Structure 1
Amino acid sequence: MKLSFIIIDDRELDCYIAEKIIQKTGLSTDNKIFYDAFSGLNFIKNTPVTDSIIIVLLDIMMPVMNGFQFMEAFEKLPEEIKNNYRIVAITTSLNKNDISEISSYKSVIGVLKKPYPSEALVKVLQIITGDLGQ
């Protein structure tokens, strides 16, 4: 199963690394990168609903709009939009409260701590594809 990805991270190097890890999995058909959560959210809001699942790698610590604010806005979107996305939070935070809070959002299906090895992302993707019956 091939998947599309959206990477939302304010650090260019982290986006580059994430894209390389995604490519290494061999599961990617399309990657979009946003250096701020607001732009990523607007893209999601304005993208027509399809039958495909899009994986969002979301950094939780960003300026302007952080991952928590992104999730608050994302959770308010119509179900037909939210159903197209699976969100994996990514963070350097060691704060258990941050990890617990981001994990509490219904749309967040996993949390990866940076730097994450490709095997960790593959495990999350296997959960997603298994849930989709693939």
Structure 2
Amino acid sequence: MLIDDNEIDNLINQKMIEAANISENIYVHSGAKSAIEFLKNVEKLDSVAETILPDIIFLDIDMPLMDGFQFLDLFDKLSEATKKKCKIVMLTSSINPQDISKSKNYTYVKKYINKPLTQQNINTLEV
């Protein structure tokens, strides 16, 4: 899943993931609010939720309406099964040391990557 308010970044990142051939389905959200609603709705599907939930969520930090950290706070309220399945990778242009440090407070944030997403980043994910 890609969550970024920049449509061009989403398109480029989607193409990089497709080229790496690491995913059958790529969900793209241009806002954190729609992404969290999507995850909440998938949870309601019970038996098939596990197959629909993304393995990796690439999350931008600086977005209008709901930023990446607000998303993480709401993500924390989702089911244990969702939090266990979905690994989060911060994919952002922020080089602010406070953002990097803050992201480490969330156990399901597995990596912090600066944009753009590259094949090398994808190959070394190990989440």
Give me the TM-score of the superposition, normalised by structure 1: 0.84
CA distance in 1, matches of 2:54, 2:6: 25
TM-score normalised by L of structure 2: 0.89
Q: What percent of counterpart residues are identical?
A: 35
Partner of 1:74: 75
Which residue number corresponds to residue 132 of structure 1?
Answer: none
Please give the secondary structure, in 2, of the residue aligned with 1:72.
helix
- Tell me the distance in 1 between the aligned counterparts of 2:26 and 2:54: 13
In 1, distance between residues paired with 2:116 and 2:85?
Answer: 26
CA RMSD of aligned residues (A): 1.4
1:97 and 2:92 matched: no
Give the alignment of 1:1-134 within 5 angstroms.
Answer: 6-47=1-42, 48=45, 49-50=49-50, 54-124=55-125, 127-128=126-127
Structure 1 residue 116: Cα displacement: 3.1
Gaps of 5+ in 2: none
CA distance in 2: counterparts of 1:21 and 1:122, whole angstroms: 11
Look up the SS of the partner of 2:87 in the other structure.
strand
Count of aligned pairs between the two proteins: 121
Name whichever structure is richer in strand by fraction: 1
